[in-house]
Amino acid sequence: MKAKGDLEIFLATAPGLETVLCDEVKANGFRAPKAIPGGVTIEGRWHDVWRANLVIRGASRVLARLDRFRVTHLTDLEKRARKVKWADVLRPNVPFRVEASCKTSRIYHSGAAAERIANAVTAELGAATSSEADVGITARFENDVCTISIDTSGELLHKRGFKEAVAKAPMRENLAALFLRQCGYDGSEPIVDPMCGSGTFVIEAAEIAARLMPGRARHFAFEQLATFDGAKWQTLRETKGAAAVTPAARFFGSDRDAGAITMSQANAERAGVTAWTEFQQKTVSELTAPDGQPGLVIVNPPYGARIGDKKQLQPLYRSLGQTLLNKFPGWRVGLITADAQLAKSTGLPFKPTAAPVAHGGLRVTLFQTGPLG
Ligand SMILES: C[S@@+](CC[C@H](N)C(=O)[O-])C[C@H]1O[C@@H](n2cnc3c(N)ncnc32)[C@H](O)[C@@H]1O
């Protein structure tokens, strides 16, 4: 049973990573976390919405549910949508946009549905629509039930707010954080990414170890809602910010591309993790394990989408596997690729895999080993 006044809050993520996100949400003490297709639901107040946006690494956005009702005609939709308590949440002077999606419902035209809801909001509140608005209302029609939510994040949460330099095929920060979690990474061990691109894994790992909040450097759509309290938000940020620590471990990235290294260094600098990270230009065959205790090698090598790519990439995967087997005793490996055969070419002793994850139009899988012999 939801406590009185509680909201239903939905944290979206890439399909395939819902249970990993649910673990993160649980570990952060949110109420009633439940993994469902596409994300995790929790219960809480607006304060919890702000906190989820600020501290959760694995979500792509946070939605707050406003209303849910059965509706089968567009005319009824507009009437019913006028009864939503818009003034409790939206400000009359802040523009908004509406996005609708329809599945197995008599209302099947998402554009028309979005327009009716926008009309209802403007009629009740006087607020104007704008396709550029930070404040987004989402309406999901499924089996003739309309669920109306507010997107409280605005720009997607993988945009941490400091990364300007992006490599060709970057891993989204929220996925990188969840793959690290799936590998059992808790911030206490060293990390090596030998194909680091723009440095996503290395920087995420360093931030996790330093207990830095992923949302510390950005703004959120909830700051423009009627429910926002600037003073309480400031207190929350300060309290969470005070938990930062100096990590004991170090985080290493390398790439054969000099531009990738410059990018990674600039990104690490902006994120404030330069002191604990090290980036070097080198190929995987030149790789050696850093001194000290073993940790986790996490890597997403190129996987190529074109026919013929696979054959060309096999030697690269083989060389990566050989280097890790010869030079990284005691280290675990987490390798993300879209191609199981390429993963197999490494010769690494992978455990059975978890569900594939939708990423950049492909389905990628995390292949993991235990400590190498
Ligand atoms: C899919 S990208 C990795 C993206 C990275 N995870 C990120 O988030 O930006 C693959 C990277 O592997 C690098 N690479 C390809 N062949 C390599 C080799 N032989 N040695 C080292 N790096 C290599 C490429 O330069 C590219 O940056």
Average pLDDT along the chain, 373 residues, taken 10 residues at a time: 81 97 98 97 98 98 97 96 96 97 96 97 96 95 98 95 72 96 97 97 98 96 98 96 93 97 95 97 97 97 76 94 98 96 97 90 94 96
Closest by Cα among 3, 55, 19 to 243: 55
Angle between helices 230-241 and 46-55 (to 10 degrees): 40
255 close to ligand 1 (CB < 6 Angstrom): yes
Q: Which phi and psi angles does 210 have, rounded to 5°?
A: -85, 0
Task: Give the pairing of strands 61-70 and 7-12.
Answer: antiparallel
Distance 308 CA to ligand 1 centre (A): 19
Q: How far apart are the first and last CA of the chain?
A: 50
Closest by Cα among 86, 179, 147 to 368: 179
323 close to ligand 1 (CB < 6 Angstrom): no
Q: Quick one: tokens of 253?
A: 């990235």
Burial track 327-362 (b if 16+ CB lie within 10 A, e otherwise): ebeebbbbbbbbbeebbebbebebeeeeebbebeee
Which stretches does DSSP call E strand in the chain? 7-12, 31-36, 39-44, 61-70, 96-103, 135-142, 145-151, 191-193, 251-255, 277-281, 296-299, 332-337, 357-359, 362-368
> 125: helix, coil or strand?
helix
15 close to ligand 1 (CB < 6 Angstrom): no
Rounded Cα distance, 331 and 335, in Å? 13
State the residue for tokens 């994040």. Answer: 153
Q: Quick one: tokens of 66?
A: 């406003």
Q: Quick one: tokens of 142?
A: 């499924």
Q: What is the pTM of this model?
A: 0.95
Out of 195, 252, 277, give the residue to mutate to test ligand 1, the one with the largest number of ligand atoms within 8 Å of its CB. 195
Nearest-CA residue for ligand 1 atom 13 is: 195
Nearest-CA residue for ligand 1 atom 1 is: 302
Distance 324 CA to ligand 1 centre (A): 16
Out of 256, 264, 335, give the residue to mutate to test ligand 1, the one with the largest number of ligand atoms within 8 Å of its CB. 256
Distance 302 CA to ligand 1 centre (A): 6
Check residue 129 and report its DSSP letter.
Answer: B
Out of 168, 173, 193, 255, give the residue to mutate to test ligand 1, the one with the largest number of ligand atoms within 8 Å of its CB. 255
